[in-house]
Homo-oligomer: A and B are copies of this chain.
């Protein structure tokens, strides 16, 4: 069966738009770009394939054009934990700019597409790439905000975490111009459980409780937010 496609971000809405569009349109910047390496738009990544590996040398910053991705880290004890999600219009590998290596392994949840931005584009060289850096700053700041959401997931009660999770997803979809009150979750219950630090069974039961309370409709991965404000107030 055909994999249902996740929404793709329109290039004009992408925070890194300037970098890509200028590259394609502006010959001067394109020339400068050549010396920086390529900014390659829209490369396919098949479901389950990783974009980058934790601890590997940072070579590219990525932007999600289409699809959904998860960040995974392997803890010293061997346990794997999902630490975040990346949707269309968001960046992957931001921590690498300062550390020089990827901090997370990032895996495609469905077939998708990512754009590449070479490390040289934001290293301390003498080229003036202020346009590029401006776009990167925006994307980076946005990423900080997303990571801050994640921090809130350490809420006390399980239902609160799940409610907050759905609210966050909704807000992020909305920001990038996708449906914010009715969507299909790209990740498994296992991924959600790992991300929230809960058992799968607890996640499942929390979904049912939120459903029972009339806040959401759920059928497998399909979710409709009946009352997003209530969801937020509850979390």
Contact = CB atoms under 8 A, between A and B. Distances in A.
What's the dominant secondary structure at chain A's contact region?
A: helix
How many copies are assembled?
2
Interface stretch (A3-11, A20-28, A75-83, A216-224): A75-83
Interface residues of A, number: 50
A137 interface: yes
A152 B147 CA distance: 11
Contacts of A76: 232-233, 235
Contact of A150 (B15, B139, B147): B147
A81 B232 CA distance: 15
Interface stretch (A34-42, A62-70, A90-98): A90-98
Interface of A: 15, 73, 75-77, 81, 83-84, 94-99, 103-104, 122, 124, 128-130, 133-134, 136-145, 147-148, 150-156, 161, 195-197, 232-235
